[in-house]
Structure 1
Amino acid sequence: MTADTDPAQSGQDDPPGDETVVDLLEPAEGVPPLVADRAALSDAAAALASGHGPVAVDAERASGYRYSARAYLVQLRRDGAGSFLVDPIACGGDLSVLGEALRGVEWVLHAASQDLACLAEVGMRPDSLFDTELAGRLVGYPRVGLGPLTEHLLGVRLQKGHGAADWSRRPLPDDWLTYAALDVELLVELRDAVAADLERQHKTAWAQQEFEAVRLAPPPLPRAEPWRRTSGVHKVRRPGALAVVRELWESRDELAAARDVAPGRLLPDAAIVDAALREPARRDELVAMPVFRGRAQRRLADRWWSAIERARALPRSGWPASAPPPDGPPPAHRWGDKDPAAAARLAAARAALAGLSERTGTPVENLVTPDLVRRLCWAPPEQADAEGVAAALAELGARPWQAELAAPLLAEALQTPVPEPEPDPQES
């Protein structure tokens, strides 16, 4: 399987100049009314079922405001049916009638992995998928956001400004609804433009395998120690202080889930790390610290202080380890000391994949994920020829097209000899 590398057909030509770009401020048919009851939902489902061609789908969440990742607005558009803005909350959180109406229809989403979970939560699961963002990465567009792609390929500039808004707010402002409707206004046209470049580059089969992988991906496994993702936790070295971080994080997470509030809005990560580092001896010292002395934090001071006391009451055996248990190979920058042969293999693999990326016009991370390459180079398969490497890649989750392209190159990289150590000039 090869990819067309003719620059004239790569999809990376210069975007339309400003004089050719049209600002799209309103949907062509106007902003549709909000679907906010079961009767309107049934009508929308019937209309979408009677449409033709793919359906554009998008969802708006309230990340940064809410603990949950639920959809607070779902947008759909299909030729012959028009656009629909659906309020899942007002419709009882069940949009399965839409999912049934669209059985067998290709769904077009942008960055589908971000929305599929919240759509599934309301009963909407695609049978077929086209992801314009992922397709754009395979083609090799320099910018793959919805706005830049629409401007680059269709010469249309979309309205910006509300993607990170609190979509749990009710009522939804009119300008937000306009923004939401525009997100699906041209999505099917964008799909057709990207699909044409995929076909010109002979990457359609690659894209289809990627789309299916996204569509069928299981939910991610819960992290063993999610509290270690606290921003700034690397500053905390002592295990006893790490116990404070863990107890504060878990107390905050429990309250955030109960209130459906983003954890950082209850207590910023920086405050958790600060409390662990400063080690306040009394509750009064805690509430005198920045952030903790705010009015909202004073109301929760007893909760935070109780978490700190629980951490301090733990025996040493209950303290977390100073570093998380290893999950896979060590950081690549330490390979030279730990295993020079593995470091040589990794350097050769990276160089070979960089060349493949240049030839195909596809980013390295989309050819083979960096984590997969590290795992392969750290612990090569017993059968390290192209066939054995392809099997190892498949076992690690690579798609067939990735294994077909990368296995011969990686098999060669795995044969890289260990570099001879530099002679010590003092010994000569």
Structure 2
Amino acid sequence: MVVRKKDGSLTADEKPVVKALLNRGMRNQDIQALLNVGRKATVNSARITEVKKSDQIAPAPDDAVEHFIARKRAFDPKTGLNAFEDERLVRAREAMMVAVQVFNSPTVIFKTEVFAILANVAWTYLLHEHYLRTIGTIIGDDGKTWPLSFMLKRDDCPLTKGMKRNLNALKDIRDTVEHNILGKADDKWLSLFQACCLNFDRKIRELFGNALSLQGELAFALQFSKLNLEQVAELQRHDIPEHIEALDARLREGMTEEELTDLDYQFRVIYTLDNASKSQSHFQFIQPDSAEGKEITNILVKFRPADETHPYKHKAVWEEVSRRSGRNFNSRHHNQAWRLHGIRPRPGDAAPEKTNKKYCVYHPAHKDYTWAPPETSSF
């Protein structure tokens, strides 16, 4: 006996629709193709034949059939979302895309205002869908749907602490928008907005699958192509209203350095300027931990005299560490430390200059090494 899997069966709602489509003269294979749009378990042609032969199934009314067809045609094969069944996720993605597109538009003046408001909408829809799927409700005791601020305070909120701080900062910006003129403050919180975009893309993929990523639509959110040095200088000359400076101070109040440097809170990069003509000059953004980022750090160190950046000789380092720590730390311990962490090459190495310049530099003139102060080079 063959046991039919229920997942591949027609539902009670689908059978009358199939009957109506057959009565319209639609072919089995066309009905089958329509039914299987967006289905995880597909229906085979035999199920449609069963409906055709049954006299017990009444055809669905025309409005129900048209609604069924409209729902199937609203399915997005790229994301797997349906505008009828996944409306919150569709709206969440659109709200974030519009927020970024408006911010990037050269013709729009109210960039910060629009971004802060639409980003709040996007995250609210995203978390509403999460809670509907996990606990089945988003309605509070007052009969209203949960606001974003309430969801961020829940113990089961799926966001990191940095993400929550970022969204609370955007809420403060949004609330200020309702009562004040922001002036030219768009560049004031670019790092917050960039982190918001990246956090949204990361979380929607984690919660609902990689197919929902915005990376295809927004290759680099809040990008600034061909931003030349004159434009950068102009940005710095804009006067920021006092209430905006006050808001900026309030956003940072009470935050530790670790919280401020959390990439989930605000996006931070190391940048270099490529050698290019004036019309093609632009910023190139590089991850700090990448090989390019580390090389930039090494190069920047070279533009300051080594006597300033690395004033300690070998003996001075271990004596200072021993004095500050109150523990026995001698030359042998220091040698073990730099060897363990690969800070400098061993004696006799063919390339003695290849050091970690954050901690140590080589002097070819007198063929020895000096070290950064212990507080910046503790192993």
Taking structure 2 as the reference length, the TM-score comes to 0.26
Q: Which has the higher relative contact order, 1 or 2, with Cα contacts under 8 A spaced 6 or more apart? A: 1
> Of Structure 1 and Structure 2, which has the larger fraction of its residues in strand?
1
Quick check: which has more Rg, 1 or 2? 2
